[in-house]
């Protein structure tokens, strides 16, 4: 899931204020897009094992992105409504990540199987050192052939 600057539903004048405050001289809201990307990553990390509606994911990411944008832009005090929404969002996301929301269905285990073979998976991969996988038989160590004229090389 990706959150775009346009998903923040901010008017053009507010976007310009953020661009100026975040030292984004390009006017393309690159800094604000980075904040959106970070917010989307936070939501994704905390909800990875659950089947969540896209609208909920977007709303949570928007809440996080707006809070972080106001905090980084340092316009003064962050609007109370944004602080409250961010606080509620983080409570909900942390509860989901902790498994406290039993009403939210989990992603089936076979859907997560595509992640096997990456760092830390413990799955044998070609070219790995045999000592990392003690259940596999290690090949015989290489020993150079013996030459009758020269002895052992």
Q: Is the dihedral of CA 82, 16, 54, 72 positive or negative?
A: negative
Per-residue tens of pLDDT for the chain, all 153 residues: 688 888 888 888 888 888 888 876 666 677 888 888 999 999 999 998 888 888 999 999 999 999 999 988 888 888 999 999 999 999 999 999 888 888 888 877 655 555 445 555 555 555 555 555 555 555 566 666 666 666 554
Query: Hey, which residues does 151 pair with through a beta bridge?
Result: 147
pTM for the complete prediction?
0.67
Neighbours of 45 (CB within 10 A): 10
């Amino acid at each position: 899931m990706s959150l775009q600057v346009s998903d923040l539903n901010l008017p053009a004048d507010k976007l310009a204020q953020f661009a100026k405050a975040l030292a984004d001289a390009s006017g393309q809201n690159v800094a604000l897009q980075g904040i959106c990307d970070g917010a989307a990553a936070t939501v994704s990390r905390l909800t990875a094992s659950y089947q969540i509606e896209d609208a909920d994911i977007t709303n949570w990411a928007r809440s996080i992105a707006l809070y972080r944008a106001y905090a980084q832009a340092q316009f003064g005090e962050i609007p109370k409504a944004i602080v409250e929404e961010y606080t509620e969002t983080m409570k909900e996301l942390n509860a989901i990540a902790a498994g406290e929301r039993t009403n939210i269905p989990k992603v089936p285990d076979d859907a997560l199987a595509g992640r096997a073979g990456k760092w830390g998976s413990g799955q044998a991969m070609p070219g790995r050192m045999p000592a990392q996988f003690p259940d596999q038989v290690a090949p015989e160590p290489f020993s150079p052939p013996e030459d009758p004229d020269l002895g052992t090389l």
